[in-house]
Amino acid sequence: MVFSMTKPPRLSKQDWLKAGFRALTKHGPSGLKAEPLARSLGTTKGSFYWHFKDIGQFREAMMAHWEQRAYTDVVSHLEAEPSVPKRLRLLGQIAANAAWPDYGDGPIEPAIRAWSRSEAMAAQAVLRVDARRLHYLGGLLAEIGLTNPDFARIIYAGLIGLEDLSSRDDKPVETPLGTLIDIVLTLE
């Protein structure tokens, strides 16, 4: 009988964050524990603690990663488009297709928003992202003469509501969100 002593591949911090988002969308915040995460990755808790001091630091790293992807990366992509109306439509498309396939199939943002109702650290991250997104969206609308802050709020509320509905009924977000953006753009 021959035994293989191959080591599993070394996991990166990114691997653990992806596993965390998969667990959050599947099990909620109760799935964000070292032991079940390690099991899902086929490794030991030691690998987890190599990258994170404790579960609190891991959760903070998850939220920092989400803030980067959910705001900074999106805005960087949008800024390449010089036309504000096209940027707004592109924003709608990006928001509507915000799945992170390499992080699992579940809807990440509704899971984060649900988590933020019971976890102060997550709530603070959501508040920061919401404020930055609203400010950016309001700035785009102001560039085309739509200075009423309610327009940005209505579009953003539509996005959040559509994402939540879509997380339960699997209907696409893109068409109704695009329609809402087009309606607002007719006001310019």
pLDDT at 85: 94
pLDDT at 147: 94
The CA–CA distances, whole Å, from 121 to 9, 58, 60, 126 equal 32, 12, 7, 9
Domains assigned to the chain: 13-185 (1.10.357.10)
| Banded model confidence at residue 9, pLDDT cuts 50, 70, 90 | low
| Banded model confidence at residue 5, pLDDT cuts 50, 70, 90 | low
| Banded model confidence at residue 54, pLDDT cuts 50, 70, 90 | very high
For 65-87, how does the pLDDT look when each residue is reduced to its tens digit (9 = 90+)?
A: 999 999 999 999 999 999 999 99
For 16-46, how does the pLDDT look when each residue is reduced to its tens digit (9 = 90+)?
A: 999 999 999 999 999 999 999 999 999 989 9
The CA–CA distances, whole Å, from 161 to 71, 79, 165 equal 18, 25, 6
pLDDT at 87: 94
Average pLDDT over residues 86-105: 80
Cβ-contact 129, 109 below 8 angstroms? no
pLDDT at 150: 94
Tokens 């943002």 correspond to 109
| Banded model confidence at residue 6, pLDDT cuts 50, 70, 90 | low
Quote the pTM value: 0.87
Angle at 68 between CA 67 and CA 74, to 5 degrees: 105
pLDDT at 121: 97
Structure tokens at 52: 């994170």
